[in-house]
Structure 1
Amino acid sequence: MKDELEEFLHGKDVIKELRRATAEGQRSLVMDFDQVLEHDMDLAKCLLNNPIDFFETADSILENITDLPGTHLRVKGLNEFVDVRNIRSEHVGKFIQVEGVLTRASEVKPEITEAVFKCLRCGEENRVLQAGVNFRKPTICENPSCKKKGPFRLLVESSDFRDWQSLRIQERPENLGGGRIPRSLDGIVRDDFVDKSVPGDRVVITGILHAFQERQRNKQKTTFRKILQVNHIDVQQQGVEEAELSSEDEEMVEELAKEHRIPNLVVNSIAPSIFGYEKIKKAIALQLFGCSAVELPDGSRIRGDSHILLTGDPGTAKSQMLKWVGKIAPRGIYTSGKKATGPGLTATAIRDEIGGGWTLEAGALVIADRGMACIDEFDKMSDEDSGAILESMEQQTVSVAKAGIVATLNTRAAILAASNPRLGRFDEYATIADQIDLPPLIISRFDLIFILRDRPREERDRSLAKYMLDLHDRPEKVVKPKLDAQTLRKLIIYARKYINPRFPDEEPKKILEDFFVRWRKVAGEEAIPITARQLEALVRLAKSHARMRLSEEISEEDVNVAINLVKSSLKQVGVDPETMKPDIDVLMTGRSRTQREKFSRIMKIIEELEDEYGDAAPIKEVRRMAEEDGIKKEFVDEMISREKRNGRLYEPEPDMISRAI
């Protein structure tokens, strides 16, 4: 094998390739498996079946050719993949290729390769080559006049080290069958290939599969653990900004922009199997394109990703829409809040079984960094878990302080969430905060909230029925998107990489300014219909529409599209259900202005009755006095019950209520 390898490597321009790699910070010669196969089929078989001997020999030859210590041969692009769940005992000791999502990457540690020990009797330095996983020490001193068995002291500064990192790769979610739990495989990467990828990257890895005996309570077991000694890592899907487009792809996008009106193409291609919902599809299209974050001189940052919440009646295709977006979005993640915890969405600290100590395992939002997170059943999370993503939504970071690890991870992802009303169907005469099990703090972070209602309307119902029946009968004729999934994804990547819209003049900004001032002026002394948070949402959406047009300048059209979407959203959820007037406090605080006034009046009644009856007020009297002021008994009971849970009111005795402060 050595002769064939020498012939193969000498036939390549090894020195030139390694010099180029060294200039790029690498010390490895990377080759395709097809190159080995074309040169010698027997050599390729040796690589697959005896990879340890193959790479040891190849590395030794490279060091002799280049006179550069620590040079390695790395091989990529095998002809077939081995699914992580299908790795079996027959693969142990073989060279294999796997693909999946990187979920964990430990810190880079120095691994000793040759240890230097000083004999404390004679001062001789003994060099011990380290092989395997167990640390080797000298048995006797190499000095012929000493030959003692120690004691020895390790000279760390004189020893040789290389970089070491442990990884965990998990099956790609789209490859899983129904009900299957994703399997994972641990790996170890060394030298110049450490930190090649980060959690969330979709990777293809080649390496040698090793088996290490498991232990339980210091006893060896008959089972072995699989660990992949990584030879090469190829990142398939990175964040949108790092994704690469070929020159042909860029030409295709530019030609498409010349021939068609891009916004119409994109909106008509969003979830083509779902009937209707034009405004929602337009909002999702803007969310997919997004806009760049604004970095301020003081170091703070204004997010560029828009968050959208879909809620409403059952059977309105909310989950189907989320799953489609999760598949089409570059670096998209789909998960369900019902089965997710706060750490599962952000990050959790786990013990590293390979390297020891604790390490962070990325959650869904961290994996979706610079991408899109689609979270179904968003309201089914506990208050603690939903609170864990509050920082992720606004600051787009998650702060972790667990197991001695204090870190801040990026979660620069747009969130598309779906939830269901508490009573099944949405009640237009109640506030959104009363119908969704989410704190107002979370609800107020969404740029757009849409209510999907299932109302009987004969003409629309007939069109929907015909569409769905045709969908089952001849789907290829019904679902004909203007842009296929691959083209749409390339278009999104192109826009996010190269297009960063700006306001060309004052006119578009003046339209936004007038809209903001006019809506707030209408309120007068009444409820506030809009806040600065909605103004930021308007700017994000206007920039996103300009980017979708592949334009560097924000036009009046972009601003008007943003205004129409925000107005449509606020008319659905930002309205006081009693007065039917705009009131943004319904979203910001969970209570409308009229509800706050009623609340203040009830608390005043309780205070007056406390003075009259002593330390507590009869609930019966509270109801009677409130009813005289036009406040219904149901509102009084609900308010008392809620404030008892919040700790502001308590019952010192049955049918009596008192203020806690």
Structure 2
Amino acid sequence: MSQKITKLKRISSKISPSILYAAFTTPYLIGGLEMDRGFKEKLEEFLNQKWVIKELHRITASGQKSLVIEFGRLIDFDMELANSLLGFPNEFIEEADKILEQITSLEGMRLRVKNLDRSTPIRDIRASDIGKFIQVEGILTRMSDVKPEIREAVFKCVACGEEQSVPQTDEVYREPIYCGNPECTRKRGPFKLVVENSKFIDWQSMRVQERPEQLRGGRMPRQLDGIVREDYVDKAVPGNHVVITGVLRVFQEGFGRQRKTTFRKILFVNHLEVVQKGVEEYELSAEDEAKIKELAKDPWLRNSIIQSIAPSIYGYEPIKEAIALQIFGCPAIELPDGSRKRGDIHILLTGDPGVAKSELLKWVSQVAPRGLYTSGKKATGVGLTAAAVRDEIGGGWTLEAGALVIGDGGIVAIDEFEKMSDEDRSAILESLEQQTISVAKAGIIATLNTRTAVLAAANPKGGRFDRHRSIVEQVDLPPVILSRFDLIFIMRDEPQAERDRTIAHHMLELHREPTAVIRPPIDVDTLQKLVIYARKNIDPKFDDTEAMKALEDFYVKWRSVAEKGEAPLPITPRQLEAMIRLSKANARMRLSNRVTVEDVNRAIKLISFYLHEAGIDTETGKVDIDILMTGRSRSQREKLQKIWDIIKELESQHGGSAPVEEIKRMAEIEGISSAFVKNVIEEEMRRGYLYEPKPDHVSRVVKT
């Protein structure tokens, strides 16, 4: 390291961070520091190595202008050179860019450095990092539109027409102070910007947030704003997991006389890389893999896993089995025509208060790799999906990711799902099925990935669940959303003396001696590693023809009851796909690449349990999938048709309108209650199919 840099290091330890910022991060001040000749020679020697020249030939031939190098290359070449990048990045990068431009004879060549020896957690960034070259990892939550940024401004004197160039080397727009023409009669201008002769580069603001798996103990995720330029704009979209290197700078908060003593941190990005998402980025040791392979030999492994799901919560075995399958998941399938079949399993929990819905969600979000917990009620701002919001750095609009985009590649647990905003309701459909979010707002058009499994909890409208009414009538979610869930469970709190005593004993023992009560067969750490291993290495296939036939027979048998149109339809292809996903997840949970008949039977058992709970017609006692698909059962549709026929008949008898009381009387003869008639009339009026021409009369809206 040069003597000048060594001297600066000694000085920097004695002065305040704000002075350090002024000395090392303000471009026009840094430009005043001259590089040591030996340092320049060392940097030139590094950039003139054969492998660098070869790489430069490759990138320039393809029209690129960024040379990306590993930080380790700098360390191997010269440790002092590597340290100078970390401590004095502005000088280093400015000089390196000049050398690259000389070597290639191309303007705008840039040096990009990636893979530092360590990443700084966003929450650990401190004043000592100001002006330093750092690396951060996180989720990209916001990306603005690309804007032109002026770097070389050409001004024309309005008085004499003289043009002069003013470099825009910092973040403040600068105009000439004097006219450069000695014969000009108005030395101080005014000056007009000549846009066509000025030089612009692409500019974009961004925001990166800590990853969910980095947070423990309910901590709020920290964020860091950044700026990318030139060929690095639009290299990522919100929801991407990124590793970023750059120079940390600070800007004073407030304006004019309202300026504060605090400064805002902004990372000026040097290199940005989108990294692999999901469990693939987790590494397991050889010891971990050996332990997992030993577990795979256990014939009771599946039961041990299910018993290890939320062990502090008593009972709910079918729900815990479903959650275990959701955590292990099923591989997605990319079809030859470009379409994609999702592998993530979506589960909805609903029912009475105090039945541990929220506790199950929180447990999953804390234990599942890449788990995230949020609430439909509290998901303000961008909500669950994504939105265009005002850019705080550059003005205008920017695209910001919601919980489902941030949770891409993991599991998102959403409490109070029924309280989500109307905007989220319209976007959630695409997210649940296609696993993308399409945004077209404020001139921003984008499609973001939401490849996440959703575990949602919703409360019934009346507080408690009424087993004599359908789920559609009680949960404030439209059928089109309900039908997107693979499994729906109704959690009831009904008095049962023996069960109540067992639950009470379990809860009291938890308070007396928690470690004795909560002894899951597989501890949380091992369970997480088991999930990671399975999702990375196990890809179950339907190689067993008997397993395929068992699934096919069940599907055909259930549908055959409605073949003659005399019974409601109990199942659709959507449930068949759910059974396929559950069967594969069962095999993966056993750490097997082959789906067996037992895997299929367990999937069938779960689907049957769900349909007999959430898809039952309370009037006939039969499974009717149309309750979830359309909101009405077959028997309700038949009643509705009778009411329409009555209205039509009464209209012809009463001059075009039907008396409501007469409709109720005639419906009662057909076995339809007055309450049902009242609900139908109110709903059809809301939907615009009926209107009230005069008090206590209704008429059909006839389309012409």
- TM-score bucket (shorter structure): 0.7 to 0.9
Inter-partner Cα distance in structure 1 for 2:422 and 2:93? 57
> In the alignment, what sits opposite 2:331?
292
**1:635 and 2:635 correspond:** no
Q: Which residue of structure 2 aligns with residue 456 of structure 1?
A: 495
CA distance in 2, matches of 1:515, 1:381: 36
Q: Is the 8 A contact 2:569 2:626 kept in 1?
A: yes
Conserved 8 A contact 2:327-2:531: yes
Which residue number in structure 2 is paired with residue 397 of structure 1?
A: 436
Indicate how the Cα distance of structure 1 residues 97 and 359 shifts in structure 2: closer, same or farther if over 3 A, else same.
same
The one of 78, 89, 102 equivalent to 2:140 is 102
Which residue in the other structure is 1:445 paired with? 484
- Structure-2 residue corresponding to 1:226: 264
Mapped to 1, the partners of 2:426 and 2:192 lie a distance apart of 57
Residues 73 and 368 of structure 1: CA distance in aligned 2, closer, same or farther (over 3 Å):
closer
- Give the alignment partner of residue 240 of structure 1, picking from 240, 262, 278: 278
1:351 matched to 2:390? yes
Please give the residue correspondences for 1:179-190 in structure 2 after superposition, counting only pairs within 5 Å: 184-189=223-228
1:216-257 CA distance string (max 9 Å, x none): 6xx674136513234678989852264242452444433432
Is 2:574 the counterpart of 1:574?
no
- 3-state SS in 2 of match to 1:83: helix
> What are the Cα deviations for residues 264-322 of structure 1, in whole angstroms up to 9, with x where unaligned?
33222222222111111111121122223333333333222221111111111111111
Q: 2:361 aligns to what?
A: 322
Residue of structure 2 equivalent to 1:411: 450
* Larger deviation, residues 110-119 vs 513-522: 110-119
Q: CA deviation at 1:175?
A: 8.1
Q: Equivalent residue for 1:379?
A: 418
The answer to whether the aligner puts 1:2 opposite 2:23 as a matched pair is no
Match of 1:385, SS?
Answer: helix
Please state how far the C-alpha of 1:19 moved relative to its aligned partner. 8.1
For 2:575, which of 534, 552, 555 is the aligned residue? 534
Range with greater deviation from structure 2 (509-518 or 166-175): 166-175
Tell me the distance in 2 between the aligned counterparts of 1:381 and 1:418. 12
How many aligned positions are there? 647
For 2:649 and 2:436, how far apart are their aligned partners in 1? Answer: 47
User: Aligned equivalents of 2:358 and 2:441: distance in 1?
Assistant: 33
CA contact (8 A) 1:17 1:29 kept: no
Amino acid at match of 2:499: R
Residue identity over aligned pairs, in percent, reads 53
Is the 1:185–1:228 Cα contact (8 Å) retained in structure 2? Answer: yes
After superposition, the CA RMSD in angstroms is 4.5
489-498 vs 421-430, greater mean Cα deviation: 489-498
Partner of 1:131: 169
Indicate how the Cα distance of structure 1 residues 362 and 131 shifts in structure 2: closer, same or farther if over 3 A, else same: same
Q: 1:601 aligns with which of 629, 642, 651?
A: 642
Deviation at 1:427, TM superposition (A): 1.2
Q: Distance in 1 between matches of 2:292 and 2:234?
A: 33
Deviations 1:43-94 (A, max 9, x none): 98x998xx4x46514764797799686436678466975737x967x87556
Task: Give deviations 1:419-457, integer Å, cap 9, x for gaps.
Answer: 111111111111111111111111111111111111222
User: In structure 1, what is the Cα distance between the partners aligned to 2:397 and 2:144?
Assistant: 9
Residues 500 and 95 from structure 1, CA distance in 2 versus in 1: closer, same or farther, beyond 3 angstroms? closer
Q: Deviations over 1:143-181 (max 9, x none)?
A: 9999x9999967879x696x7543213456688899987
Partner-residue secondary structure (3-state), 2:489:
strand
- 8 Å CA contact 1:208, 1:229 repeated in 2: yes
Partner of 1:611: 652
> Helix, strand or coil for the counterpart of 2:205?
strand
The secondary structure found in structure 1 opposite 2:348 is strand
Conservation of the 8 A alpha-carbon contact between 1:309 and 1:417: yes
Distance (Å, rounded) in 1 between the aligned partners of 2:213 and 2:337: 42
Matching residue's letter, 1:276? G
CA distance in 2: counterparts of 1:179 and 1:83, whole angstroms:
14
Q: Does 1:253 align with 2:276?
A: no
Partner of 1:83: 123
Query: Which residue in 2 is equivalent to 1:56?
Result: 91
What residue is the counterpart of 1:481 in the other structure?
520
Equivalences for residues 414-433 of structure 1 within 5 A: 414-433=453-472
Residue type matched to 2:607 in 1?
A: V
Looking at structure 1, the residues matched to 444 and 99 of structure 2 have their Cα atoms a distance apart, in angstroms, of 44
Match of 1:557 in 2: 598
Deviation at 1:610, TM superposition (A): 2.0
TM-score by length of 1: 0.83
Residues 485 and 615 (structure 1), Cα distance of their counterparts in 2 relative to 1, 3 Å cut? same
Structure 1: where are the runs of 5+ without partners?
none
Query: Which position in structure 2 is the counterpart of 1:502?
Result: 541
* TM-score, normalization by structure 2: 0.78
Structure 1 residue 590 corresponds to structure 2 residue 631? yes
Q: In the TM superposition, what whole-angstrom CA distance separates every residue of 1:560-590 from its partner, at most 9, and x where no partner exists?
A: 1111110010010111101101111111111
Aligned pair in 2 of structure 1 residues 54, 522: CA closer, same or farther (>3 Å)?
A: closer
Mapped partners of 2:512, 2:274: distance in 1: 36
Deviation at 1:660, TM superposition (A): 2.6
In structure 2, the CA distance between the partners of 1:505 and 1:512, relative to structure 1 (3 Å rule), is same
SS of equivalent residue, structure 1 residue 344: coil
Give the conservation status (yes or no) of the 8 Å contact 1:115–1:155: no
